Amino acid sequence: MSAVAIPAVRRESLWSKAAWKLARDRTGMIALAFVLLYMLVAVGVTAGWWAADWSEVRGGKWEAMSAAHWFGTNLIGQDIFARAVYSTKTAFEVGLVVAVLATVIGAALGAVAGFFNGSWIDEVLLWLMGVLDSIPFYLFVAAIVFAMQDNPYAMHIAMISTFWTSVGRLIRGEVIKLRGLEYVEAAHAISVPEFVIIIRHILPNTTHILLVQATIMFVSAIKSEVILSFLGLGVKDGMSWGLMIAESSQEVMAGFFNNFLAASVLMFGLVMAFNMFSDALQDALDPRKVG
Amino acid sequence: MSGRDQIPLLDVRNLTKYFAVRGGLLRRVVAQVRAVDGVSLSIGKGRTYGLVGESGCGKSTLGRAILRLHEPTSGEVLLDGHDILKLRRSELIDRRRRMQVIFQDPFASLSPRRTVAQIIREPLDVHRIGTAAEREERVIALLDDVGMGAEIRDRYPHEFSGGQRQRIGIARALALEPDFIVADEPVSALDVSVQSQVLNLIAGLKKTRGIAFLFISHDLAVIQHVSDEIGVMYLGRLVEHALVDDLYAAPKHPYTKALMSAIPIPDPKTKRSRIILKGDVPSPMNPPSGCPFHTRCPDVMEICRSVVPATINVGRKDLPHHVSCHLYS
Amino acid sequence: MEILQYTVRKLISGIPLVLGVTLISFLLMVYFGPDKTYELLGKNPTAQEIAEVRTQLGYDQPFLVRYVDYLRELVTLEFGNSDSTGEDVASLLARTIPISLALTGPGFVLGNLLGVLLALFAAFYRSTWVDKAIMASAVVGMSISFLIVIIAFQIIFASSYGLGWFPVRGWSVHSFGDYLSYVAVPTMAMVFVALGYNTRFYRSVLVEEMTRDHVRTARAFGVPPAKLFYKNILKNSMIPIITRVVFSIPLVIISGSLLIESYFGIPGVGKITYDAIISGDQPVLKAVVGLTAILFVLAQLLTDILYRAVDPRISLK
Amino acid sequence: MQADTQPLLSVRDLVIEFTTENGVVRAADGISFDVHENETLGIVGESGCGKTVTGLSILGLIPSPPGRVAGGSIRFMGRELVGLPDSEMRNIRGRDISMIFQEPMTALNPVFTVGNQMTDVLRRHRGLTRRQARDAAIEMLAKVGIPVPAKRIDEYPHQLSGGMRQRVMIAMALSCDPKLLIADEPTTALDVTTQAQVLEQIAGLQSEFKMAVVLITHDLGIVAETCRRAIVMYCGRIVENAAIERLFEAPRHPYAKGLLESIPRLRRERLDELPIIPGRVPNLLHLPPGCRFAARCPRADALCREQSPALVPAGPHGDFIACHHPHPGQQAEPAA
């Protein structure tokens, strides 16, 4: 009897609704296009299509921009453009590894803490998050670098170990909130096993938080990498925007800005695009967003 | 009153549920909230027990404690004579098939990222009832039972109005063919014109399927329509219980009288004297001594302040009318 | 009396945090950290010499003893002498902390004040072009790395290629005028970097408060906008604001100043921490880590007391 | 007869629009009604019918963005309120027209005491000193039945119960002796026994303060007991405007009739099946071209589905109705 006047769109899940909203967000889509462009550059570097010669000396000291060297050359005559392009791959690698792993760890531990809210497990996890948040970041990275004897992934591990806590706290809070909702009680009433309740009814409803957090951590990871590499605590083998800026910090005093500008502008573009995409994603996924 | 001398379907004896309030550095229990304080009631097969009371009186907690969604502090809940509070978790799973629940908030009671079919099928999946094809058929039949068409099976909850969601929630509760359903304020979040639709649906289910209900509501008008008998709760205790017509014709407890007289009547010609209670409901963390209602009772006597009134039957033996009030002892 | 009791209780409950922080850092930096034995020895040391140095460094002690020693150092504030300069660590910190505070203080305060101010503008003109312009600038600001800002500002304001108004690097402060000239570029950089984040955060807090029911009630009683902002919005937003401000203090003192101080060559805590990281100067690092943990516990205590002051619903229990 | 005197409040063709992601929604569409001095007017309807935004628009409190008054006029004591600058509107709010809201738990500022919030209003609108304002506030609190007002005035809202907070709201609303009180679901969040207390309070104060009241509610029982006249709204439109006796005795609009019949109420005889209005309220984004109630209406025909009925006078007593095929209404008019 109530099968009257059901609105037009059929089978509209919350996901398709969010995707539709995102697709209509023009700034968000432009930002996404930029991100994808950078990603293509990074993929190309990995596949060896371009910038494979970033470490070769191909010119003189501090050459100006030219057709051969689009952004000129550095102190020892390496092509700045190739180095900047190659660094895109480094940035993506750091960003992806850190964002994905920190999100996964944060989601898992946050969900556990939230589900065992009030028990000792929750207390221990909360304590761990508090501890990790209270260690100065650079010191923590340095400590891990020391402890891991110059392992190339020391920086990644340090970032993951500190970044997951923010995800963990958010997910913990959300799980506690969702556990009190009536549909979880309804699942209990039909004897759905606890772990199925977590997997089927609770975690899927935290994915919007995870997606947004992952984009935010991607950006943080790229920005941290640059500073850590500059300080000599980050990327050891290879090239990154941070190392380029470290190189350039001597050059700028001598009036040569190409290295600095190339790294800065490329990095700014990626971070800006990602920030804007992250905002659009958040708008599209936010269930209570009005106006 | 058939079945009066047989074992009732559900017999709740002296059920209590206290919530501990913790405080201090060592998180010691500093106080107890007596949400449900020694409630006894029984519900026969296919009958509807209406439980009425104002917010914070413990009626929802009682419903959840009976289902063991909140673990009761003490007491017994006998289903066909077997105490379900003594069951281990694994044994409880099987017993849960017979007891289901319908919730108040239609927007929070359905999992938002699952389709209607998935939601209604879940109990069948969990209890491994029938083959996949049979389950699909069941879902369609259940949707039909609650007045919804099969074409909505692949839609998501957010596409429906409150009344439609409530129907889906009812279909889920019916999936396991329970004998007993706790309906916790199932219409109070709905608009008035939709309330009646859902009430009719529930009344129909009771009639056609012989399901017993514990129907919890704050609204005496709503509860009158669906109930056979009614219990009135105040501060965690049952203060009056009678068959529905008895209670409406001759309420005994001063609180019941005040509650009934407070309902606005949609008829401008009816003018009546209204009992206006003084003050507010006391905190269940710190309930008054003696009769819990004595702080607001218009007929309060000296004895009410110190002695908890016993529950006595002021009706006939075959037509009991229980009341806990010193006025009648 | 209530406050005192509460303070004691809160400090006691902060002990696990300090233990956790120190334990993890100790494990990483000292136990798994580099072995300094050979740095202190000449060429071709004898086994006896090695053993002597190891005893001197405490390497022959069991883990627990060494960790408890560290805790004792923390409680007594006697961290020994720096490995690289030989200076007493406590006096090293006493010398450098004031410099860091003087360096980061103005930027921190300005960054938050301007953030609140811009956020107020954006929130007040919500959904208009003013709001959109402020928020778009905030995203741009958030997208520029701190490092790039520091270098760029140094070029623009301090170097001979730019305006050349301020000293390029260093910290030779003898007068208030000196102080201003040395602190100017770092402060601008800090404000620039923090502003985007702060504005966004404060705007979301303010907008949340602006849409509350009691704000509508106040409007319905004719309360004018200025008073509305003070009484119904600002005071009610104090809890998230306090949380953010107080908890960033420990990080600003250590992490925030590390990059600035090492880049500008300013002898603050950040600089000595950086030098200690590079040279593996464990006494200094242990002291910095331990003190940061204690700062966090104090920050927590401070926020709780401030919460109580701004929100009557919160009691100290 | 009311029609002879100048109405206190006169709303004409009011249109309120909200911008949503899926398009512009008209939350109120062509609302017209009058409120006379000392009169209690009820506005009833189900959620989303536009009754609350209509109340808010009188005080210029439509949340903007996303909402706005898109047309029509609101005249209060002969003065146009639509388009009035905020600075002038502020002198009316809380002094000439007051409003109380549904949620007593959140409607007061949690970080200031009750007294602080009340004296603010008194000092602003009545120019009292701090001392005088405090005394006046205590007096008002006593009037709304708050025990020990001199102590309660220094408490914070969270220390009071829901019923108590709603009384504080009422005390605040009446403290400047307004000519019009808009009460938006003032008792919906309260328990029945508390609701009875608060309604009694409002009724008593109305005769003492000689003000008009616009009572917005979904509860027809409350309307029947407190109002002289009521407006029934459906889907952003007024469908019927009638004196209480006529509305409850013989509703003309099929929706009003259906609503009256379908509400669960205490009955002497229990019915097997409650009367219902079939179907559900249409989405404001996808409104039918004709009468908005047509799809659920037992009397609807082709005309109803094509053409929207206008709100026209019905009968000699100032009633209005928007229906192509109304019920006849009361046959024998009672002697006025």
**DSSP output for C268-310:** SHHHHHHHHHHHT-HHHHHHHHHHHHHHHHHHHHHHHHHHHHH
For position A7, what pLDDT does the model report? 44
The reply to whether D21 touches chain A by the CB within 8 Å rule is yes
Is any Cβ of chain B less than 8 angstroms from the Cβ of A21? Answer: no
The residues, ordered by sequence, that sit 6+ positions from C226 with a Cβ below 8 Å of its Cβ are none
For residue B181, the model assigns a pLDDT of 95
What's the rounded Cα separation, in Å, for the pair A151 and A158?
11
**C55 or C199, higher pLDDT:** C199
pLDDT tier at A291, thresholds 50, 70, 90: very low
Query: Which of B101, B82, B102 has the alpha carbon at shortest distance from B92?
Result: B82
Q: End-to-end CA distance of chain B: give it in Å, rounded.
A: 27
Indicate whether D13 belongs to any domain.
yes
Where residue C195 sits, what CATH number does that domain have?
Answer: 1.10.3720.10
From C41, C178, C43, C156, select the one nearest C103 (Cα to Cα).
C178
Q: What pLDDT score was predicted for residue C1?
A: 63
Mean pLDDT of all residues in chain B? 88
Give the number of B-C residue pairs with CB atoms closer than 8 Å. 5
pLDDT band at D330 (very low <50, low <70, confident <90, very high): low
CA torsion sign for A231, A234, A237, A240 is negative
Please give the backbone phi and psi of residue D182, each rounded to the nearest 5 degrees, phi first. Answer: -105, 120
- Six-digit token string for C299: 């920050």
- Do D74 and D211 share a domain, yes or no? yes
Last residue in a domain, options D182, D206, D227:
D227
- CB < 8 Å to D89, chain C: 222
B 134-193 near A (Cβ less than 8 A): 147-149, 151-152, 154-156, 158-159, 163-164, 167, 169, 172, 175-176
Task: Determine, for residues B244 and D266 on separate chains, whether the beta-carbon distance falls below 8 Å.
Answer: no
Distance, CA of D201 to CA of D218 (rounded, Å): 20
Q: How far is B25 from chain C (nearest CA, A)?
A: 7
Give the number of other CB atoms < 10 A from CB of residue B205. 18
Listed by number, the residues of chain B in 36-75 with a beta carbon closer than 8 Å to a beta carbon of chain A are: 64, 67, 69
The domain containing residue C121 runs over which residues? 99-269
Picking from A43-47, B46-50, C48-52, D316-320, which range would have the lowest pLDDT averaged per residue? C48-52
- In sequence order, which residues have a C-beta less than 8 Å from that of residue C176 and are 6 or more positions away? none
Token match 């400090």: residue?
A: C11
Which residues of chain B are within 8 Å of residue C13 when distances are taken between CB atoms?
25
The number of domains in chain C is 1
Point out the domain boundary residue: D227, D261, D295: D227
Residue A8 has pLDDT above 50, yes or no: no
Closest residue to A190, CB basis, from B96, B109, B155: B96
Q: Which residues contact A265 (CB under 8 A, 6 or more apart)?
A: none
Say yes or no for a CB contact (<8 Å) between D279 and A21: no
The DSSP bridge partners found for residue D321 are D240, D312
Average pLDDT over residues D191-199: 86
The lowest-confidence range among B145-149, C82-86, D200-204, D254-258 is C82-86
Give the model's pLDDT for residue D255: 93
Give the pLDDT mean for A75-85: 81
The shortest C-alpha distance from D79 to chain B (Å) reads 34
Touching B: D residues 294-313, CB under 8 Å = none
Same domain flag for D201 and D244? no
% of residues, chain B, pLDDT over 90: 49
**Does D34 share its domain with D156?**
yes
C292 belongs to a structural domain: no
CATH superfamily, domain A16-49+80-285, is MetI-like (1.10.3720.10)
D298 touches chain A (CB under 8 A): no
Distance from CA of C208 to the nearest CA of A (A): 12
Q: Which helix (H) or strand (E) holds D239?
A: strand D237-243
D190 with D108, same domain: the answer is yes
Alpha-carbon distance B168 to nearest alpha carbon in chain A (angstroms): 12
Give residue-wise pLDDT tens across range A132-154.
988 888 888 888 877 777 678 88
**Is there a domain that residue C226 lies in?**
yes
d(Cα D46, Cα D235) in Å, to the nearest integer? 9
Does D2 have pLDDT greater than 80? Answer: no
D306-315 pLDDT, tens digit per residue, is 999 999 998 8
Q: Decide if A4 touches D, using CB distance below 8 A.
A: yes
In three-state form (DSSP H/G/I as H, E/B as E, the rest C), the secondary structure along chain A is CCCCCCCCCCCCCHHHHHHHHHHCCHHHHHHHHHHHHHHHHHHHHHHCCCCCCCCCECCCCCCCCCCCCCCCECCCCEEHHHHHHHHHHHHHHHHHHHHHHHHHHHHHHHHHHHHCCCCHHHHHHHHHHHHHHHCCHHHHHHHHHHHCCCCCCHHHHHHHHHHHHHHHHHHHHHHHHHHCCHHHHHHHHCCCCHHHHHHHHHHHHHHHHHHHHHHHHHHHHHHHHHHHHHHCCCCCCCCCHHHHHHHHHHHHHHCCCHHHHHHHHHHHHHHHHHHHHHHHHHHHHCCCCCC
Given this model, what pLDDT does residue B31 score? 80
User: Please, which residues 142-181 of chain D have a Cβ atom closer than 8 Å to chain B?
Assistant: 147, 161, 163-164
Cβ under 8 Å to A: B residues 90-109: 92-93, 96, 99-101, 103-105, 108-109
- pLDDT recorded at residue D335: 42
Question: Residue written as tokens 């303010």?
Answer: C206
Report yes or no on D335 lying in a domain: no
Percentage helix, strand, coil for chain C under 3-state DSSP, each rounded to 5 = 75, 0, 20
pLDDT band at D76 (very low <50, low <70, confident <90, very high): very high
If one compares C136 and B95, the residue with the highest pLDDT of the two is: C136
C90 burial via Cβ count (<10 Å: 0-12, 13-18, 19+): middle
Q: How far is C317 from chain B (nearest CA, A)?
A: 7
Q: Is residue D2 part of a domain?
A: no
**How far apart, in whole angstroms, are the C-alpha atoms of residue D32 and residue D249?**
23
On whether any CB of chain C is under 8 Å from the CB of B23, the answer is: yes
CA nearest C10 in B: which residue? B25
Mutate to test the interface with D, among C209, C210, C221, C223 (most CBs of D within 10 A): C221
CA distance C127 to C121: 11
The secondary structure element, H or E, covering residue D171 is helix D162-174
Whether residues D63 and C232 touch (CB distance < 8 A) is answered with no
Domain that holds residue D102: 9-227
Greater model confidence, C308 or B239: B239
Nearest one of B274, B264, B188, B273 to D42, comparing CA atoms:
B264
For β-strands D97-100 and D9-20, DSSP reports them as unpaired
How much helix, strand and coil, in percent to the nearest 5, is found in chain D?
A: 35, 25, 45
| B24 min Cα distance to partner chain C (Å) | 7
- What value does the mean pLDDT take over residues C260-275? 89
Which residues of chain B lie closer than 8 angstroms to A188, CB-CB?
69
List CB contacts (< 8 A) between B144 and chain A.
none
Tell which of D227, D259, D284 closes a domain: D227
User: What pLDDT is stored for residue B121 in this prediction?
Assistant: 93
- Amino acid of residue D3: A
Among D180, A134, D167, which residue's Cα sits nearest to residue C250? A134
pLDDT of C316 above 60: no
State whether D264 and D202 are in the same domain. no
Of C220, C232, C310, the CB nearest to D109: C232
Assigned domain for D333 exists: no
- Give the integer Cα–Cα distance in Å for B270 and B268: 6
What does the pLDDT read at residue D262?
Answer: 85
The amino acid at C136: A
Structure confidence at residue D4 (pLDDT): 54
Query: How far is residue B325's CA from residue B311's CA, in Å, rounded to a whole number?
Result: 7
Based on the domain organization, do D135 and D263 belong to the same domain?
A: no
**Using CA atoms, how far apart are residues A159 and A145, in angstroms rounded to an integer?**
11
Residue D327 lies in a domain: no
Residue D26 domain-assigned (yes or no): yes
**D258 and D306 share a domain?**
yes
Is D246 found in the same domain as D215? no
Q: Give every CB contact of residue D170 below 8 A, 6+ residues apart in sequence.
A: D100, D144, D186, D198, D201, D202, D205
Shortest distance, CA B7 to any CA of chain A (angstroms): 24
Contact C9 B23 (CB under 8 A): no
Q: Hey, is the C-beta of A134 within 8 angstroms of any chain C C-beta? A: yes
**Phi, psi values for residue A116, rounded to 5°:** -100, 30
Q: Which of A152-156, B174-178, C114-118 has the lowest mean pLDDT?
A: A152-156
Same domain, D220 and D240: no
- A190 contacts in chain B (CB < 8 Å): 96, 100, 122-123, 126-127, 172, 175-176
Contact C146, A227 (CB under 8 A): yes
Confidence category of residue B303, pLDDT binned at 50, 70, 90: very high
> Do D155 and D285 have their domain in common?
no
C310/D110 Cβ within 8 A: no
In chain D, which among 53-92 make CB contacts under 8 A with chain C?
59, 61, 63, 65, 86-87, 89-92
Interface of D with B in 37-76 (CB under 8 A): 46-47
Q: At D138, which CATH number?
A: 3.40.50.300
Q: Is residue C281 part of a domain?
A: no
Tokens linked to C177: 């005028």
Residue bearing the bigger pLDDT, C224 or B270: C224
Q: Hey, is the C-beta of D23 within 8 angstroms of any chain A C-beta?
A: no
Per-residue pLDDT for D138 more than 80?
yes
Interface test with C, best of D21, D89, D102, D111 (most C CBs within 10 A): D111
Report the residue from A146, A252, A279 with minimal CB separation from C34.
Answer: A146
Neighbours of chain A (3+ CB pairs under 8 A): B, C, D
The residues that bridge with C174 in the sheet, in sequence order, are: none
pLDDT higher than threshold 60 for residue A5: no
On the question of pLDDT at A3 being above 50, the answer is no
Residue D332 has pLDDT above 60, yes or no: no
Q: Is B178 within 8 Å of B100 (Cβ atoms)?
A: yes
pLDDT band per the 50, 70, 90 thresholds, residue C40:
low
Examine residue C309 and state whether it is found in any structural domain, yes or no. no
Tokens of D229: 């006249």
Inform me whether the pLDDT recorded for C38 exceeds 70: no
Q: Is D21 touching B (CB cutoff 8 A)?
A: no
What are the chain C neighbours of D124 within 8 Å (beta carbons)?
221-223
State the nearest Cα–Cα gap between B19 and chain C, in angstroms: 19
Does D142 share its domain with D14? yes
> Which of B218, B186, B217 minimizes the C-alpha distance to B105?
B186
Query: What is the residue-wise DSSP string for D258-290?
Result: HHHHHS----SSPPSS-----S-PPPTTS--SS
Cβ atoms within 10 A of the Cβ of A165, count? Answer: 22
Long-range contacts formed by D84-93: CB under 8 A, 24+ apart: D84/D60, D86/C225, D86/D60, D87/C224, D89/C222, D89/D59, D89/D60, D90/C222, D90/C223, D90/C224, D91/C222, D91/D125, D92/C222, D92/D59, D93/C219, D93/C220, D93/C221, D93/C222, D93/D59, D93/D60
The predicted-structure confidence for D3-43, as pLDDT tens digits, reads as follows 557 899 999 999 999 988 778 899 999 999 999 988 999 99
In a domain, C310, yes or no: no
Mutate to test the interface with A, among C10, C70, C277, C298 (most CBs of A within 10 A): C277
Look at residue A208 in the predicted model and tell me its pLDDT: 87
pLDDT of residue A240: 87
For chain B, give the secondary structure using H, E and C: CCCCCCCCCEEEEEEEEEEEEEECCCCEEEEEEEEEEEEEEEECCCCEEEEECCCCCCHHHHHHHHCCCCCCCEEEEEECCEEHHHCCHHHHHHHHCCEEEECCCCCCCCCCCCCHHHHHHHHHHHCCCCCHHHHHHHHHHHHHHCCCCHHHCCCCHHHCCHHHHHHHHHHHHHCCCCCEEEEECCCCCCCHHHHHHHHHHHHHHHHHHCCEEEEEECCHHHHHHHCCEEEEEECCEEEEEEEHHHHHHCCCCHHHHHHHHHCCCCCCCCCCCCCCCCCCCCCCCCCCCCCCCCCCCCCCCCHHHCCCCCEEECCCCCCCEEEECHHHC
